[in-house]
Structure 1
Amino acid sequence: MRLHRNLVFATIDALAEIFNEGNYADKVIEKTLKRDKRWGSRDRSFIAETTYDIVRWKRLYAEIAEVKEPFSREDLFRMFSVWCVLRGIKLPDWPQFDGTPERRIKGRFDELSKVRKFRESVPDWLDELGASELGDKTWTKELHALNNQAPVVIRANKLKTTPQQLAEILKEEGIETSNLRNYPEALELKERANIFRTKAFKDGLFEVQDASSQRVAEFLNVEPGMRVVDTCAGAGGKTLHLAALMENKGQIIALDIYGNKLKELKRRAKRAGAHNIDTRSIESTKVIKKLYNTADRVLIDAPCSGLGVLSRNPDAKWKLQPEFIENIRNTQIEILQKYSRMVKKGGQLVYATCSILPSENQQQVQRFLKSEEGAKFKLKKEKNILSSESGYDGFYMALLEKK
């Protein structure tokens, strides 16, 4: 591989923004890719994938390069040279790479690879937390799996097409997919591509949604004609799946505290041809109280640490702080207490997170069931999805029924 100066410099600029200014990697990369109209798809994928790679392995590369945050431009070039050496990419004859100690880099890599927190590139506190909650063996496997680049999985929108038809349509647009056994509506891309430019996407034939995430709406046992409340709907990935499972019949009330996310949901619903979604912004507790004891089904896709989705958001492990996890656990239990009241007698609720920590998952459900509000519910079933076992995102879901 021959390195091109403008692509390498764009990558270094992106890394400076992500590491030193604390900006989100996906937003920085999206902006960076618009910098030069002459870049082809190979150029853009070099910038995106290299940036994500160095973000993913930040701790390991910084240790090998012997640099500390905040990183100077020189430090970032040293980390970039570590990335090149470990991938067998020939360093160009540029002043930025003068005197790169290739043998020392390989030696340091071999030495640091013996220690999990360096090898899998995580902060000390997170390594300790994961090991204490999941046990050394599971945490080691899980960290390793979460450091792989996430595959691109899409969900065929059954309001408009079937997975088989969609696969054919995408093939005509030059995109090869494979069926996923055990995931009825999912297709996985054989190679990464910008699928948002396809006619199939513009026609609302699919949504990008990880295979594990597709399990959540199924878990809720919805039927056409029901009244369903999606309490933390966000931009609506699971809301749209619920609409398809309900065949556009009945009512889905999509709630969120962020109005801009609900606007995006409306746009997506229009594209998907989902007509049974009613969006409501949570501006006061009135919005929630009005719905007490009215819903057949309630989905609580709770805010969480996001540790199950590190393979697609590698910068999250550097942004997370121990106090955030402590606070989010309190938020989760508050949400469960409040939003569970929307379920009517005999109705069902799913509590889900994209975390792999028992303290955000099983333990929260048990804590809820022991409370006054939770005593009205019984646990029907729960599912733990580990990335190391599924090959997809880590997720948890529990189905509760109101007595």
Structure 2
Amino acid sequence: MLLRVYPFWVASVVDVLQEIRCSPLPADTVLQQFFRKHRKMGKRDRAFVAETVYGMLRHYRRLAYAAQDQASDVRFLVLLYLRVFGFGAASLDLPISLSERSRLEAAARRFQAPALPADPVAALGITYSLPDWLVAAWMAALPYEAVERRCAALKEPAPLTIRVNTLKADRETVRQRLRAEGFPSQPTPYSPTGLILEEKAFIFRTRAFQEGLFEVQDEGSQLISLLTEAKPGQVVVDGCAGGGGKTLHLAALMQGKGRLYAFDVHKARLQELRPRARRADVHNIRLHVLPHNRAPIVQRLYGKADVVLIDAPCSGSGVLRRNPDAAWKITPERLAALVAQQQQILEAYAPLVRPGGRLVYATCSLLAEENERQIETFLAQHPEFTLLSAAEVLQRQHIALPGQTDAFLRLEPATHGTDGFFAAILLRT
């Protein structure tokens, strides 16, 4: 049976998309704000609006390219998306004129078989709805086939992946608990504590979640924490803790023992960690909202940390599956500012590492400026640090990743099925 699409749904999608285009906030935040303003919307209404908004963001450039002279009409682009992705024109229960219906059919044909430019960068950018500068940056580092696989993988919706809280249960126990509640899952191929839900679902009302048995976390993000090899009794610093996903993983690795510092300059994000820590039964985290990255609490830890994790603010080019709007909010100018910020954070937190201690630098970026080049610059200026092999560290934990050819960790959506991550492990001699 065809799903009927109603005018209110389309109008809501148009409103959200226009707000996303104007707002500096990420799409998920804008969407949450919209739903708070429209509390009477039902579950079905919200599901349709959310799914359509994210689908539109993933394919916006190609939709606009196919729409031609209708490209500036957001409502037309929404109708085109619905026409192309599973809703026959006859199922649109909307006031559509015969001429508009004809234009939709013509645009749908152009979407399915676009007349692409000869330039391979522009052709890939249109096909996969990505900005040319981003595609060009990848083309400068990788073969065409690898770039196309990456672009295609980043257009696919990300799976729902969770990390089991080993302070409370093992993976198989949580898997069985979730299955009993109607949410079957499969073990992640690399992380020893991850599960991938067989279907996306709202799992935050499950008893297993309320009891703190798991957190939603991409498998790639879980592997970053494992690079620290954090142990019970150590002094560990999460320098850019944000909402605390990796902080909670570090606490589990430490078995709740030792001192775990969670730093961030954003108070609102760090405050999210408090209820999460209570639910996870974690008590060794010390939260500090910093006015800047050289605050007194940071300086008091100089030379005392066994592990420092810097999950640096970045372009987010590796998590476009989850945040497709990020592709259009990051610019070369914004990238340059982020690179400078990352350098400042590295300089601020490197002194915390004790001799023999470890600094792990990570991003959810697929751009060399934020990754390899950043580490090369740092090592050239800091001979007291040496690079450790991420592959060897993971192999000690019985984790083998395909495609790892040097010391850096590079997680590729097209190869590993995770979000795109980069990490480097630096040992202080």
Query: Could you tell me how far 1:62 is from its partner in structure 2?
Result: 1.2
Corresponding residue of 1:39: 42
Corresponding residue of 2:131: 123
Corresponding residue of 1:146: 154
Corresponding residue of 1:84: 82
Change (3 A) 1:263 1:102: closer
Corresponding residue of 1:350: 360
Change (3 A) 1:350 1:27: same
| Runs of 5+ consecutive residues of structure 2 not aligned to the other structure | 118-122, 390-407
Equivalent of 2:315 in 300, 305, 322: 305
- Contact kept, 8 Å, 1:378 with 1:402, in 2: the verdict is yes
Query: Could you tell me how far 1:264 is from its partner in structure 2?
Result: 1.3
Query: Could you tell me how far 1:11 is from its partner in structure 2?
Result: 1.7
Is 2:351 aligned against 1:332? no
Corresponding residue of 1:238: 246
Query: Could you tell me how far 1:331 is from its partner in structure 2?
Result: 1.3
CA distance in structure 1 between the partners assigned to 2:15 and 2:253 by the alignment: 44
Q: Tell me the amino acid that sits aligned with residue 416 of structure 2.
A: S
Is 2:397 aligned against 1:395? no
CA distance in structure 2 between the partners assigned to 1:258 and 1:220 by the alignment: 24
The within-5 A match list for 1:147-296 is 147-284=155-292, 285=294, 286-296=296-306
- Contact kept, 8 Å, 1:155 with 1:206, in 2: the verdict is yes
Query: Could you tell me how far 1:38 is from its partner in structure 2?
Result: 5.7
Corresponding residue of 1:53: 55
Equivalent of 2:65 in 63, 66, 82: 63
Change (3 A) 1:193 1:113: farther
Corresponding residue of 1:2: 4
CA distance in structure 2 between the partners assigned to 1:88 and 1:214 by the alignment: 35
Q: Tell me the amino acid that sits aligned with residue 124 of structure 1.
A: D
Query: Could you tell me how far 1:365 is from its partner in structure 2?
Result: 0.9
Corresponding residue of 1:104: 106
- Contact kept, 8 Å, 1:81 with 1:97, in 2: the verdict is no
Change (3 A) 1:166 1:117: same
CA distance in structure 2 between the partners assigned to 1:259 and 1:32 by the alignment: 23
Is 2:330 aligned against 1:320? yes
1:353-402 deviation digits (Å, cap 9, x = unpaired): 1001122111111111110xx21011012211111101110001111111
- Structure 1 residue runs of 4+, over 6 Å off? none
Match of 1:174, SS?
coil
Query: Could you tell me how far 1:260 is from its partner in structure 2?
Result: 2.0
Match of 1:241, SS?
helix
- Contact kept, 8 Å, 2:149 with 2:414, in 1: the verdict is yes
Match of 2:272, SS?
helix
Change (3 A) 1:19 1:67: farther
Q: Tell me the amino acid that sits aligned with residue 246 of structure 2.
A: K
CA distance in structure 1 between the partners assigned to 2:23 and 2:420 by the alignment: 28
CA distance in structure 1 between the partners assigned to 2:176 and 2:40 by the alignment: 31
CA distance in structure 2 between the partners assigned to 1:67 and 1:339 by the alignment: 52
* RMSD of aligned Cα (Å): 1.9
1:330-358 deviation digits (Å, cap 9, x = unpaired): 11122112211100011111011100112
Q: How many residues are matched? A: 396
CA distance in structure 2 between the partners assigned to 1:298 and 1:332 by the alignment: 15
Match of 1:297, SS?
strand
- Contact kept, 8 Å, 1:154 with 1:186, in 2: the verdict is yes
- Contact kept, 8 Å, 1:78 with 1:97, in 2: the verdict is no
| Runs of 5+ consecutive residues of structure 1 not aligned to the other structure | none
CA distance in structure 2 between the partners assigned to 1:48 and 1:334 by the alignment: 37
Query: Could you tell me how far 1:314 is from its partner in structure 2?
Result: 0.4
- Aligned sequence identity (%): 38
- Contact kept, 8 Å, 2:190 with 2:219, in 1: the verdict is no
Match of 2:362, SS?
strand
